[in-house]
Structure 1
């Protein structure tokens, strides 16, 4: 089965009643964990972005604490998984400020991580790539926010 375009879906949804829309949303939430997470964000957390960021940071802390530090191989796998989760959470929000906050937090945690990432080229590259991503995103934000985030970036780079 081939999926139709978003435009076609939007047109079809305009012809449905609110009860039918609710049924469709509930059915969607049963299929993928990401659909349920997105609905949870939209319904319960989108109105208070700072609480959402705080909750995600707590989740990231748990993930960092559970990293197996026996070898850099396991550390790399875990760091990539954490980064995937950050991207997913930022995609739910669609706010650049949220993405910057989460990536800055990730880089801070990674910089202070033991054993040090300086001894592994891959982890250092992941860190530097995220710094570049943050710089790109910050460049698109309002000047006041740019100033604040650039101060935090300078602290990370030093």
Structure 2
């Protein structure tokens, strides 16, 4: 089966009654967890980005608290999992401020874990890649925000 183009889907959705649209959305949310998470963001979190950021930070706190610090290998696997989760939530939002805020928070926690493990090279490389991503994303923000985030990012980069 070949998927229809976005234009065709949009045209078809415009011609559907509201009840059928609701049924389609509910079907999609039952099909895949990511669809349900995206719908949750769009319906409940999109209008209050600050609460959305705080809820993700709380989830990151829980995930970082559960990292197995007995070996760098297991710590790296856990951190990659957290990184995938953060990237997924950033993808839902599409706000550059949200992306920078969450990645900076991720890097702060990553520095703490790396310090506890005795400076793992793999974790350091993950951190450096995230810092590069943040630097690139900051350029899209307003000048005042750029200045604030650059100061914060420089503090993080100095600890790497």
TM-score, normalization: structure 1?
A: 0.96
Q: What is aligned with 1:138?
A: 138
Tell me how many residue pairs correspond in the alignment: 158
The match for 2:74 is 74
Distance 2:118 2:7 in 1: 47
Map of 1:27 onto structure 2: 27
Contact 1:111-1:117 within 8 A present in 2 as well: no
CA contact (8 A) 2:107 2:130 kept: yes
Query: Which ranges in structure 1 are unaligned for 5 or more consecutive residues?
Result: none
For 1:34-49, what aligned pairs fall within 5 Å after superposition? 34-49=34-49
Contact 1:29/1:36 (<8 A) preserved: yes
State the Cα deviation string for residues 30-61 of structure 1 (Å, max 9, x = none): 01111111111111111110011000000000
SS in 1 for 2:148: helix
Q: Which runs of 4 or more aligned residues in structure 1 lie more than 3 Å from their structure 2 counterparts after TM superposition? A: 114-118
Distance 2:73 2:63 in 1: 16
Q: What is the TM-score when the length of structure 2 is the normalising length?
A: 0.95
Q: Secondary structure at the match of 1:3?
A: coil
* Deviation for aligned residue 1:68: 1.0
Q: Give the distance between the partners of 1:10 and 1:124, measured in 2 at CA.
A: 44
Q: Deviations over 1:105-142 (max 9, x none)?
A: 00001111265466322111100000000000001111
**Bigger relative CO (Cα 8 Å, ≥ 6 apart):** 2
Give the RMSD, CA atoms, in angstroms.
1.2
